[in-house]
Amino acid sequence: MSFRVVHYINQFFAGIGGEEKADHRPEIREGIVGPGQALQAALGDQATVVATVICGDGYFAENIDGALEEILALVAPYKPDLLVAGPAFNAGRYGTASGGVCAMVGEKLGIPTVTGMHPENPGVDMYRKNTYIVETADSARGLRKAVPVMAVLGLKLLKGEALGTPSEEGYLEKGVRHNVFLSRVGAERAAEMLAKKLRGEEFVTEYPMPTFDRVPPAAALKDLKNATIALVTSGGICPKNNPDHIEASSASKYGAYSIDDLDKLSCEDSETAHGGYDPTYANADPNRVLPVDVLRDMEKQGVFKKLYGTYFTTVGNGTPVAYSKRFGEEIAQKLKADGVDAVILTST
């Protein structure tokens, strides 16, 4: 028996047209269209591309929810065992559409899905967890190389075969962790990596670090005497008994607490929620992490105009970068809206 495959492509790869045809509405055609030929060749006699669904990139981007509904209605009657989308290379709207179609069809029809994109395609971060995204070159020149990898991965998923690591199978990491037993303990592997690094040899990390963005430095504060200064901390300082239950590690939230009535923090009113350092010293005197006492005195002496009446706090301990980024953006918006001129961020 041959598996049934439906292939999703955009108006350009279907030969309908370029940007002037990007508003092309979803349609489905029997059999293969465009890059479907390469896909069918790679699948061989194990699977058949029974239909190709086509949608204009512009139409999809402007009507995402509606387009997904229409596409699902077109795909479902063909009862596919697998959906393949693209590859979309580094085309942003095509990548977003391919990822979106894979995610939706995979969820609604309960079948495996595979697409292909360049690592910098915005569709990668949006859908890497919902589908298998084979790494491709940035343009259609990479078609011949990408399609066989997508086909092999699709066939493995259809047959329920065990997959190797993302780099072995050629897809971009989905963020899934599997426990495996290795013959050598972590210390040995780490020491070997370090030795290779010191010798200037290539090595492969077992835990890639997240990438951090960069922002241009803010302009210098011009008029300190008339400035409002705010305090923000990742050191977990919070009112006694942590009323909002900020987590001791992997924090999912931040708190905003008033210091309007306080000349300083004390062990009577404040503590730390942080689970990543010895809290003895911060609990005994929370000013050691959030220097409210000094800033209040300086405010009274007229060094600056005002200590902002609320401090923002979270626990920086295994906290996901994506969460931290969101916390930072939200806090910065509130501070800007309230006319804060400068921020002292404290970390433990």
Candidates 162, 176, 218, 337; binder of another protein (CB under 8 A) is: 218
Question: Nearest approach, Cβ of 128 to another protein (angstroms)?
Answer: 23
- Write out the two tokens for 175: 């963020």
One of 23, 27, 293, 299 touching another protein (CB under 8 A): 293
Interface residue with another protein among 91, 133, 158, 282 (CB under 8 A) is 282
Using alpha carbons, select from 212, 129, 110 the residue that is nearest to residue 171: 129
Residues 6+ apart with CB under 8 A from 304: 224, 225, 226, 227, 228, 229, 298
Comparison of 123 and 286: residue with beta carbon closer to another protein: 286
CB 329 → another protein: shortest distance, Å? 13
Q: Does 291 bind another protein (CB under 8 A)?
A: yes
Q: Out of 23, 109, 298, 305, name the contact with another protein by CB under 8 A.
A: 298
Q: Does 220 bind another protein (CB under 8 A)?
A: yes
Q: Which of 277, 306, 309, 334 binds another protein (CB under 8 A)?
A: 277
Report in angstroms how near the CB of residue 144 gets to another protein at its nearest: 39
Quick one: which of 212, 211, 218, 210 has its CA closest to 332? 218
Instruction: Output the smallest distance, CB 28 to another protein, in A.
Output: 47
Span from 63-71, 137-145, 151-159, 286-294 in contact with another protein (CB under 8 A): 286-294
CB under 8 A, 24+ apart: contacts of 70-76: 70/25, 70/26, 71/8, 71/26, 71/101, 71/104, 71/105, 72/104, 72/105, 72/108, 72/109, 74/26, 74/27, 74/28, 75/6, 75/28, 75/51, 75/105, 75/109, 76/108, 76/109
Candidates 34, 56, 106, 235: give the one binding another protein (CB under 8 A). Answer: 235
Cα 197 from Cα 35, distance rounded (Å): 42
Rounded to a whole number of angstroms, the CA Rg of the chain reads 27
What residue has token string 């404040």?
270
- Output the smallest distance, CB 330 to another protein, in A: 15
Cβ distance to another protein smaller for residue 41 or 345 = 345
| Sign, Cα dihedral of 45, 50, 55, 61 | negative
Binding mask 174-213 vs another protein (x if CB under 8 A, - otherwise)?
Answer: --------------------------------------xx
In sequence order, the β-bridge partners of residue 312 are 232, 256
Min dist CB 347 to another protein, Å, is 4
Taking the CA atoms of 132, 136, 138 and 144 in sequence, report the sign of the dihedral they define.
negative
Q: Are 174 and 125 in contact (CB under 8 A)?
A: no
Is 269 a residue that touches another protein (CB under 8 A)? Answer: no
Name the residues that contact another protein, by CB under 8 A: 212-222, 224, 229, 235, 277-282, 284-285, 287-291, 293-295, 298, 303-304, 342-348
